[in-house]
Structure 1
Amino acid sequence: MTFQQLAIGSYFRLPGVSYGCVYRKASYSYCSLNKLLQPIRPTTKVIPLNAKEIAKYIAEQKEFLNQLKR
């Protein structure tokens, strides 16, 4: 699948990039990584995340933030 085929708001990974790097499609030509916008080519190959993977990612982010508060 390519970045262009994803719906805005979809979570995805890039092939060959660390499993912990989860991106979100922000617009036609930008994605976000850790709340920072990154330009991306529409033809870039992506691996979309399913609901279970998204839930795991969000839970890990919440746990990380909770650890920072301690």
Structure 2
Amino acid sequence: MSVNLEYQVAELFRARMEDFAKWCAENWTVTPEQALQDNVFDSKPAGYREGYNAAIEGLSGAIDCFLEESR
């Protein structure tokens, strides 16, 4: 049996980063109601919340790109 620790560590890192991206998408997206209650969004242009949410939800793709370029 061959052990490839570099591959195993890389895959563990990828899995944990994907877990983090999923957690962000579940916990950091902002609902319209939250945006109305949070004064940070008051001074932002229309569509800011939607763009913010798209960025948070797109972290998984960003992680994939980062890890591919790191190889």
Higher relative contact order (Cα pairs below 8 Å, separated by 6+ residues): 2
> Larger radius of gyration, structure 1 or 2?
2
TM above 0.5, one fold? no
Normalised by the length of structure 2, the TM-score is 0.30
